[in-house]
Chains A and B, each alone.
Chain A
Amino acid sequence: MHELPVTESILEITLRHAKTHNATKVTDIYLVLGEWSTIIDDSIQFHWDILSEGTLAVGERLHFGRIPVELLCLDCDHTYAPTDKELICPNCQSIRVRVTKGDEFNIDSIEIET
């Protein structure tokens, strides 16, 4: 899995923004992760506890904002969540579909002490 490089990136971005705002401590980090972003929360937390040691961000809380996958049918405008076994529109069986949510992979914000 690739949680280690992902965690390193989260830490790098966090510390860069913390420095810009002259933070003395980072208390919370808010992540926005789509359901299809293939990242495991516990594994991020595990790497985080090791990597953040000795930084401004040690001991802060990671908040995993999970965004469920949402699909939009272009034929009947039906918005739906896919099942494990079907991606096509459950309303009209169309395959003309767009993914509207679920790919997100961002840091939304951080909370800092100054």
Chain B
Amino acid sequence: MTTKVPVVEKILGANESLAEKNRARLDEHGVFGINLMASPGAGKTSLLEQTLPKLAERYRIAVIDGDIATSIDADRAAEAGAAIAVQVNTGGNCHLDAVMLQKGMEEIDFSEIDLLLVENVGNLVCPANFVLGTHKSVLVASVPEGDDKPYKYPGMYRGVQALIINKIDLLPYIPFKMDYFRKGVEVLNPDLVTFAVSCATGEGIDEWVNWIIAEVEANKK
């Protein structure tokens, strides 16, 4: 006999449950977590290099770096002021998931840390589907990628709470229609907090750093 059985479950529900455990672990120690996502070359690591020295005066920071291979990014984060930088090589996987983050978190003594910054694998598709358990997800977009990216990768733009538009120093040289870009973003994610920055000149970095500080402090209360 054939019967139809209702299931009605989220396909990635298991990842989401594990992400909740990661969040609980962070909360237990009062650590604020941020998941940084972007396409390859948008400037995630450069942004960390600009951000870490300013935050390191105030907080003890751990960085977990997801990459398909190498520890280049974790080394750069450690040099820029991270108290601990853990490299998670995904072995070809195109994104971090909650399991991989949990593994990376095992290497960190969270009683020694205030802030966890996760640098996801460079990719605008897959990381959007796999929540990690961080408090905020942030997308780093960059001017040379083009103004059509919100239209092409709506899932990524929908799944974040803050957006950094990097490399704004290149705006005079690249046909990037900021108005068109922002209209797409506004439709996809009306509550998004946005920062226009240049990691090359340092423009806009302070606003972004101040936002992190405000979020960390609000989370402590």
Contact = CB atoms under 8 A, between A and B. Distances in A.
Interface of A: 1-2, 5-6, 9-10, 12-14, 17, 21, 27, 31, 36-38, 69, 71, 82, 84-88, 95-99, 103, 105-114
B215 interface: no
B7 interface: yes
B41 interface: no
Interface residues of B, number: 36
Closest CB pairs A-B (n = 7)? A87-B187, A2-B126, A95-B186, A97-B187, A107-B7, A109-B6, A111-B4
Contacts of A106: 8-11
B11 A31 contact: yes
Interface string B164-204: 00000000000000000001101110100000000000000
Q: Is the interface of B mostly helix, strand, loop or mixed?
A: mixed
Nearest to B184: A87
B187 A88 contact: yes
B8 A109 contact: yes
28 contacts: A2-B95, A5-B130, A9-B11, A9-B14, A12-B14, A13-B7, A14-B7, A31-B11, A38-B155, A87-B183, A87-B187, A87-B188, A95-B186, A95-B187, A98-B190, A103-B155, A103-B158, A106-B10, A106-B11, A107-B8, A108-B6, A110-B4, A110-B5, A110-B7, A111-B2, A112-B3, A113-B3, A114-B3
